[in-house]
Amino acid sequence: MRLTRDSSLRFRVLRDLGILVRRYTTLLLLVAIGGCSFSIPPDAFDDLDFRMFPDPEPVETGYDFSSLAQAEHYLSTLTAVDSIEGIWRFGGGDPPQHLLYEVAIIGNDDLEAHDYEFLGVVINSSNETFGSGDLKFAFNSTTADTEYKGVYYFSDASDREASFVMTAPDLIVVPVFLGQEWQDVHINRVSASEVAEEGEP
């Protein structure tokens, strides 16, 4: 039978592969018989992350509001403020049933960094995952004047799409799936007098 150039090349590749396998098999047998061994230090892979989906981290906005008064001062410098912009609070309670968040809702002036019209920037939080300047939620306006669509970041910084409904001038309701059921997160506007109590920026 006449071998073509392609079939001859395949033959040589298979032959060389067989030789390679035999040599490595022999080497392993010699190591096993000779009692040679090696060990991997227990901390050799400590700096590697083998998880397919690493834990999410909060999104930084570039804003740094260290107090309610500072956020209020920033809002006062804007020439045009939407009705939903302002300082808002949700969670907490006595005793606290949920993590407390104080958030400044501001218009987004950097659409290249964040694809939403409005950002919910954390001012204070009892959740150690979120620090000042982190993004708690973000949304865009819709055809309905009081309804917004966007994303909500949970206590572990994972995110879900969400609707934000401004049911009153001082209340935003966000239906979210927590545990095994849907719950409404009630976000309440912080009054000017509450901000004033904290002091000047």
Domains of the chain: 68-198 (2.40.128)
In percent, the amount of the chain with pLDDT more than 70 equals: 68
Contacts of 67 (CB under 8 A, 6+ apart): 123, 124, 198, 199, 201
> Over the stretch 134-161, which tens digit does the pLDDT of each residue have?
999 999 999 999 999 999 998 888 899 9
14: pLDDT confidence band, cut at 50, 70 and 90? Answer: low
Contacts of 192 (CB under 8 A, 6+ apart): 72
Specify the pTM: 0.69
Cα–Cα distance measured from residue 100 to residue 65, given in angstroms and rounded to the nearest whole number: 16
Place of tokens 């040599």: 23
Average pLDDT score over the chain: 79
> Over the stretch 29-78, which tens digit does the pLDDT of each residue have?
766 666 555 554 565 445 545 454 567 888 888 888 889 999 999 999 98
Asked if the bond preceding 96 is cis, omega within 30° of 0, the reply is: no
**pLDDT (0 to 100) of residue 135:** 94
